[in-house]
Amino acid sequence: MSFFERLRLGLQGVRKKWSEGLSGLFSGGAIDPEFWDRLEEVLISGDVGAALSQSLVEQLKQAARERRVATTEGLYGLFASILAQRLSEVPLMGRPVEPEKGVLTIVLLVGVNGSGKTTTAGKLACKWAKEGLEVIMAASDTFRAAAAEQLKIWGERSGVRVVAQQQGSDAAAVAFDALAAARSSGADVLIVDTAGRLHSKHNLMEELKKIARILDRERGESKLETLLVLDSVMGQNGLAQAKTFNSALSLSGVVLTKYDNTAKGGIILAIADEMKTPVRYVGLGEGEDDLRPFDVEEFVRALLEE
């Protein structure tokens, strides 16, 4: 199966689910209070959130009045452009991390437990290694049992070196060592995989800040990208996650994982809207090629098209 074929299939699930709700809703019929209620419900059931769903519906109502759109079919295109605009307004939305040959780029992956950080690290390593970049991974998840082993398997797959220590060792020290290794070997990318942590756990967030602080202090001219890995099955707590990780680390983007799953991930609309944090990648499966840049147009089209 080709890469694009896989993407298409992955996205089909998304499209189907959204369109089940939306296309039915937009295919003729009257624009009555029940229509608006149902539209709001469709958004809410996609994890867009109650407040934002309401405001999106209000925005669509107003736009429909101004432009005298009287049919549900007409509302469809209008709504698509509203959603796309809200997302596109956010700087770096859909822009992948673009490491350059000869300049070290550090990618720090953070997130709650089980969001898919290690898998994302592995996919990024495969992708960049294939592009001919020199990649090193740091197994800074020193807490979870066999996390380093999992990353090493990804390292073998991608032919990428993994810097690791024993379970229970200092995560920041691993990051420090890996950065030194990346420097001395003239690597182009350093991917730092960290332990999953609930954002509400103060001490664990402090530990993460320490990793980020050390990377920031030691990085010199290198670029540092801090990406929040977010499970697309996440509900409204996803916004709290994004906010807390952002205030601790200043995120440069979100990776929306397991998007082939429920594939709604409506919470990213709230994250984009409230925090102006861009979605950079989507993960579509467990294979090494199942990661791609987030595409607004495609996302919205998939959202609304049959």
Partner 1 sequence: MFDALRERFESIFDRLKGRGKLTEADVDVALRDVRRSLLEADVDYKVVKALLESIRGRAVGKDVLESITPGQQVATIVYEELADLMGTEPSPLAISPKPPSIYLMVGLQGGGKTTSTVKLARRLAGSHRPLVVACDLRRPAAVEQLKILAAQSRVPFYGPEHGEKDVLRVVEGALEYASGHLNDVILLDTAGRLHADEELMEELAAMKRAAPPTEVLLVVDAMTGQEAVKVASAFHERLRLTGVLLSKLDGDARGGAALAIRKATGVPIKFAGVGEGTDALEVFDARRMAQRILGMGDVVGLAEKIREMAESGGAEKMAGTLKKKFTLEDLLVQFEQIERMGPLEKVLEMIPGFSRMKVAAGDEADSGRLGRMKAIIQSMTPSERRDPSIIKGSRRRRIAAGSGTSVQMVNQLLAQYEQMRKLWKQFGKQDKGFKLPKGLFGGGGFRI
Q: How many residues bind partner 1 (CB under 8 A)?
A: 47
**AA letter at 210:** K
Other CB atoms within 10 A of residue 28 CB: 9
d(CA 183, CA 222): 10
- Residues 224 and 216: beta-carbon distance below 8 Å: yes
- Complex with partner 1: residue 264 or 280, whichever CB lies closer: 264
Q: Is residue 214 within the footprint of partner 1 (CB under 8 A)?
A: no
- Region near partner 1 per CB under 8 A, out of 19-27, 39-47, 126-134, 290-298: 39-47
Q: Is residue 234 within the footprint of partner 1 (CB under 8 A)?
A: yes
d(CA 177, CA 116): 24
**AA letter at 50:** A
Q: Is residue 116 within the footprint of partner 1 (CB under 8 A)?
A: yes
Task: Mark 164-183 with x for binding to partner 1 (rule: CB under 8 A) and - for no binding.
Answer: ---x----------------
Q: Is residue 123 within the footprint of partner 1 (CB under 8 A)?
A: no
Closest by CA to 94, choosing from 300, 281, 244, is 281
- 113, 185, 247, 250: which one binds partner 1 (CB under 8 A): 113
d(CA 252, CA 258): 20
What is the closest distance, in whole angstroms, from the C-beta atom of residue 296 to partner 1 in the complex? 21
- Residues 193 and 146: beta-carbon distance below 8 Å: no
Q: Is residue 207 within the footprint of partner 1 (CB under 8 A)?
A: no
Q: Is residue 185 within the footprint of partner 1 (CB under 8 A)?
A: no
Closest by CA to 280, choosing from 252, 240, 305, 299, is 252
What is the closest distance, in whole angstroms, from the C-beta atom of residue 262 to partner 1 in the complex? 4
Other CB atoms within 10 A of residue 21 CB: 18
What is the closest distance, in whole angstroms, from the C-beta atom of residue 227 to partner 1 in the complex? 16
| Adjacent-strand bridge partners of 229 | 255
Q: Is residue 14 within the footprint of partner 1 (CB under 8 A)?
A: no
Name the residues that contact partner 1, by CB under 8 A: 13, 41, 44-47, 49-51, 112-116, 122, 143-147, 149-150, 152-154, 167, 198-201, 231, 233-238, 240-241, 258, 260-262, 264, 266-267, 286
